[in-house]
Amino acid sequence: MSWQEQLISLYLFISKHYEKDLSHYCSRMSNYADLSFSDEEVIVIFIFGILRKQKELKSVYQYTRDHLSEWFPKLPSYVAFIQRLNKVADVFIPLVELLLTQYPKKISYLNNSLLMDSMPIMLAQRGRRFHAKVAPDIATKNGYCATKKLHYYGVKLHVVGRHKNGCLPMPEYVGLTDAGMNDNKAFEQIVSCLNNDDVYADKAYTDTFYHEKGQFIPRAVIN
């Protein structure tokens, strides 16, 4: 599939489901808002930018302006684009759930190996974490990223995915917790849902792996 076909397919998919139910998760605009640039376009640009390996919002916007201006002639300024993206932010959780339902079920069970890990989502770092107020219902200031040796304010993303040869794992369990949640505690919530799977993870999960509940004793652990 060419990038043009990929972009068109993505736009048609988002438009179809936005009109059906995803629009309910977006913030309502004022009566005087300029809607010549649609919510669907905001969502498509963000996702397509990631698919094109643009890892930051500014690079996603810059890529769109430099290479896709004919496809999105009403692209606003960078600041306006970020504001619009924030207004549709809540749509991505149900969108991920929707995408998972569209994925062929049989592919998820080609083998019995699971890969799992967590990653920090940093909303503020170091001293600034004490004054951050974004997402106070879930984000906390007690996060610590051992890899970067960095204290942060934010949340933690936990993923358990089914191993697939030659490509990224297929997510089976995805969850957000506060930044200070221990990986073991998060994983214990889904232990009872796993059935005779080989689980590969780092040493952060060792306590859960060998917990003597007779419930879950994985056969493989990697560093």
Domain encompassing residue 138: 106-209
List Cβ neighbours of 129 (8 Å cut-off, separation of 6 or more).
141, 143, 151, 152, 153
Q: Is the pLDDT of residue 55 over 60?
A: yes
Q: Is residue 143 within 8 Å of 153, Cβ to Cβ?
A: yes
Q: Is residue 74 part of a domain?
A: yes
Q: Which two tokens stand for residue 33?
A: 């808002």
* 199 closest CA partner among 185, 189, 214, 210: 210
* Amino acid, single-letter form, for residue 132: A
Same domain assignment for residues 81 and 22: yes
Alpha-carbon span 175 to 99, nearest angstrom: 16
Alpha-carbon span 46 to 44, nearest angstrom: 5
Q: For residue 90, what pLDDT is reported?
A: 86
Same domain assignment for residues 60 and 139: no
Same domain assignment for residues 137 and 171: yes
Q: Is the pLDDT of residue 6 over 90?
A: yes
Q: Tens digit of pLDDT for each residue in 158-209?
A: 888 888 777 778 888 888 899 988 888 888 888 777 777 778 887 777 655 5
- The torsion angle over the Cα atoms of residues 140, 119, 125 and 123, rounded to 10 degrees, is -60
* 85 closest CA partner among 12, 136, 153, 27: 27
Q: Is the pLDDT of residue 9 over 90?
A: yes
Same domain assignment for residues 26 and 94: yes
pTM (two decimals): 0.62
Q: Is residue 219 part of a domain?
A: no
Q: Is residue 149 part of a domain?
A: yes
Q: Is residue 36 part of a domain?
A: yes
Total domain count, the chain: 2
Q: For residue 215, what pLDDT is reported?
A: 42
Q: Is residue 214 part of a domain?
A: no
Same domain assignment for residues 57 and 145: no
Q: For residue 79, what pLDDT is reported?
A: 94
Q: Is residue 215 part of a domain?
A: no
Q: Is residue 208 within 8 Å of 181, Cβ to Cβ?
A: no
Same domain assignment for residues 118 and 90: no
Q: Is residue 183 part of a domain?
A: yes
pLDDT band at 103 (very low <50, low <70, confident <90, very high): low
Q: 38, 68, 101 — which closes off a domain?
A: 101
Same domain assignment for residues 183 and 201: yes
Q: Is residue 55 part of a domain?
A: yes
Q: Tens digit of pLDDT for each residue in 122-165?
A: 989 888 889 888 888 888 999 998 888 899 999 999 888 888 77
Alpha-carbon span 216 to 195, nearest angstrom: 9
